[in-house]
Amino acid sequence: MTVNPYIDISPPEVRLPPVDRGPASIRNAILRVVAGILLGIIAFAVIIAFSGPVSAQQAAGDRTTLVKQLTQRFAEHPVSIGLTSSGGMIEIFASKDGSTWTMLLTMPDGQSRVIGDGESWFTVPEKLSGTKISSAARAGDH
- Tens digits of residue pLDDT in 49-86: 655 444 444 688 889 999 999 999 899 999 989 988 88
User: Above 70 in pLDDT, residue 29?
Assistant: yes
pLDDT of residue 34: 83
> What is the per-residue pLDDT across 6-28, written as a single tens digit (0 to 9) for each?
666 666 677 767 666 667 777 78
Query: What would the mean pLDDT of 128-135 be, rounded to a whole number?
Result: 61
- Structural domain boundaries in the chain: 22-51, 54-119
Is residue 142 predicted with pLDDT exceeding 60?
Answer: no
pTM score, whole prediction: 0.50
pLDDT tens digits for range 84-127:
888 889 999 999 998 889 999 999 988 899 988 888 888 777 76
Distance CA(140)–CA(122), nearest Å, equals 14
Query: Are the C-beta atoms of 86 and 69 separated by less than 8 Å?
Result: no
pLDDT of 2 > 70? The answer is: no
d(C-alpha 142, C-alpha 128), whole Å: 16
